[in-house]
Amino acid sequence: MFLRMISRPLLAKVKETTGIVGLDVVPNAREVLIGLYNKTLKEIQAVPEDEGYRKAVESFTRHRLKVCQEEEDWEMIEKRLGCGQVEELIEEARDELTLIGKMIARKSYGILHFLSANVCSLSCRRVAEWDPWGVPDDYECEVIENDAPIPKHVPQHRPGPLPEEFYKTLEALSKKDEPKVTSGDPQIKE
Mean pLDDT of 102-128: 55
The region of weakest confidence among 46-55, 71-80, 133-142 is 133-142
The region of weakest confidence among 2-16, 59-73, 164-178 is 2-16
| pLDDT tier, 117 (very low <50, low <70, confident <90, very high otherwise) | very low
- Taking 50 as the threshold, does the pLDDT of residue 121 lie above it? no
Mean pLDDT of 79-105: 91
pLDDT at 29: 94
- Taking 80 as the threshold, does the pLDDT of residue 68 lie above it? yes
Task: Enter the pTM of the model.
Answer: 0.54
47-67 pLDDT tens trace: 888 888 888 999 999 999 999
The answer to whether 123 touches 70, Cβ cutoff 8 Å, is no
- Rg, C-alpha atoms of the chain: 30
| pLDDT tier, 9 (very low <50, low <70, confident <90, very high otherwise) | low
Residues in the chain: 190
Decide: helix, strand or coil at residue 80. helix
Average pLDDT, the chain: 75
pLDDT at 135: 60
Higher pLDDT, 168 or 77: 77
Higher pLDDT, 141 or 128: 141
Mean pLDDT of 79-100: 92
Contacts of 136 (CB under 8 A, 6+ apart): none
pLDDT at 127: 45
In degrees, rounded to 5, the angle at the alpha carbon of residue 43 between the alpha carbons of residues 40 and 45 is: 115
**What is the secondary structure of 109-145 as a DSSP string?**
GGHHHHHHS-GGG--HHHHHH--SS---TT-------
